[in-house]
């Protein structure tokens, strides 16, 4: 299948500052692409470039197999949902939704039919005669989605659409967007700084930092095989534990030596033979560190660690310990007997470990 969106060698700069550097992304029809990164990483600018709201300095953008690089937004066959919803404040909900059709000269009957269809789909019929000012945040969000849906575009663009909602509503709307994507089978590009949104919604994630793509992959690739320290640290909550360590080739695998608060280094053996430099940073997700006896596998190693803090979170209990000069978080089962100030035997699942080069931050395994 031809990609629905194909961005090649895209550059964007304001004066001398480069905002986006050599962006290459392509998605298939039906994909849900999430652009994620900290604020100022260029993700919203990239979305605006896709929409044609910002001119680009180099490269090309194809949408639906056509070169859209210099085409104005209205002819790109896209629809966009904005962070502030950008509802036209003086128009009713109905007018907001039909404004685009009116501008394009769609006849009244079609407008009415489309409006009815979309408002039924989003359950906003009772709101049609209200002004945006009279709506709650969630309702505004729906109207903004309606304005996009009515367009029936090749590509939906979302610019942090959930960031203005409260936590509960955000989760609800997230599910709703996911359902919408599944029902429509539409192609979507979605910008967020929230890595959980990225994980739950995406079929494909682009992690960005300082205008450079750090990694492109499925949620599972991004989560389990982060390409560098930045991605490892940014994706996942609580964040991946990144612990400085020394490695040494050994019979039966790789020995990992981690400095510990007690002065006696912690020694673990990764049973896989690897070619690693002496100094590395090892990455382990909190869920890959369990209480001894609760995790088994051929590459699981146990060791005693002093516990600093215990944070019960209902379904799990997080415990914080100190290793290699860093705080290390482990996600234990809810009924753990772990106790602050006491040692506990941990099980480290080294089958899931990531190794990073300390200076470049690149993944080594």
Would you tell me which residues interact with another protein (CB under 8 A)? 48, 51-53, 70, 72-74, 78-80, 82-84, 86-91, 99-100, 103-104, 147, 159
When computed from its CA atoms, the radius of gyration of the chain, rounded to whole angstroms, is 25
Rank residues 79 and 256 by Cβ distance to another protein and give the closer one.
79
How do beta strands 212-217 and 266-270 pair?
unpaired
Rank residues 90 and 248 by Cβ distance to another protein and give the closer one.
90
- Minimum Å distance from CB 135 to another protein? 16
Rank residues 70 and 345 by Cβ distance to another protein and give the closer one.
70
Rank residues 84 and 218 by Cβ distance to another protein and give the closer one.
84
Q: What is the DSSP string of 278-304?
A: SEEEEEE-GGGEEETTS---TTEEEEE
CA triplet 8, 14, 18: central angle to 5 degrees?
Answer: 55
What's the rounded Cα separation, in Å, for the pair 6 and 63? 7
Question: Pseudo-torsion of CA 113, 116, 119, 124, nearest 10°?
Answer: 150
Cβ atoms of 87 and 146 closer than 8 Å: no
- Minimum Å distance from CB 67 to another protein? 14
Rank residues 147 and 285 by Cβ distance to another protein and give the closer one.
147
- Minimum Å distance from CB 92 to another protein? 12
**Two tokens at 232?**
């490892």
What's the rounded Cα separation, in Å, for the pair 284 and 23? 29
**96 closest CA partner among 144, 149, 53, 151:** 144
- Minimum Å distance from CB 84 to another protein? 5
- Minimum Å distance from CB 86 to another protein? 4
Rank residues 80 and 122 by Cβ distance to another protein and give the closer one.
80
- Minimum Å distance from CB 83 to another protein? 7
């Amino acid at each position: 299948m031809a990609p629905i969106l194909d961005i090649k060698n895209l550059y964007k700069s304001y004066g001398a500052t480069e905002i986006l550097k050599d962006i290459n992304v392509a998605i298939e029809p039906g994909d849900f692409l999430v652009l994620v990164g900290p604020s100022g990483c260029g993700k919203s600018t990239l979305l605006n470039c896709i929409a044609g709201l910002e001119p680009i300095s180099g490269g090309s953008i194809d949408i639906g197999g056509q070169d859209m690089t210099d085409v104005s937004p209205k002819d790109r066959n896209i629809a966009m949902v904005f962070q502030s919803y950008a509802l036209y404040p003086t128009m009713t909900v109905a007018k907001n939704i039909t404004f685009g059709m009116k501008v394009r000269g769609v006849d009244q009957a079609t407008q009415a039919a489309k409006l009815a269809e979309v408002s039924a789909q989003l359950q906003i019929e009772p709101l049609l005669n209200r002004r945006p000012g009279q709506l709650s945040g969630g309702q505004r969000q729906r109207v903004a989605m309606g304005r996009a849906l009515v367009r029936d575009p090749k590509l939906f663009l979302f610019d942090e659409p959930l960031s203005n909602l409260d936590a509960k509503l955000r989760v609800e709307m997230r599910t709703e967007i996911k359902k919408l994507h599944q029902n429509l089978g539409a192609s979507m590009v979605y910008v967020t700084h929230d890595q959980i949104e990225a994980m739950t919604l995406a079929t494909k994630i682009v992690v960005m930092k300082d205008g450079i793509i750090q990694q492109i992959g499925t949620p599972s690739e991004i989560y389990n095989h982060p390409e560098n320290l930045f991605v490892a640290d940014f994706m996942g909550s609580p964040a991946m534990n990144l612990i400085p360590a020394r490695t040494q080739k050994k019979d039966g695998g790789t020995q990992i030596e981690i400095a510990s608060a007690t002065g006696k280094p912690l020694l673990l053996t990764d049973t896989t033979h690897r070619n690693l430099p002496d100094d590395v940073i090892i990455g382990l997700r909190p869920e890959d560190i369990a209480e001894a006896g609760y995790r088994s596998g051929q590459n699981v190693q146990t060791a005693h660690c002093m516990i600093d803090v215990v944070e019960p979170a209902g379904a799990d209990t997080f415990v914080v310990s100190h290793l290699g000069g860093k705080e290390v978080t482990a996600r234990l089962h809810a009924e753990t007997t772990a106790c602050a100030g006491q040692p506990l035997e941990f099980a480290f699942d080294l089958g899931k470990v990531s190794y990073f080069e300390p200076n470049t931050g690149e993944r080594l395994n």
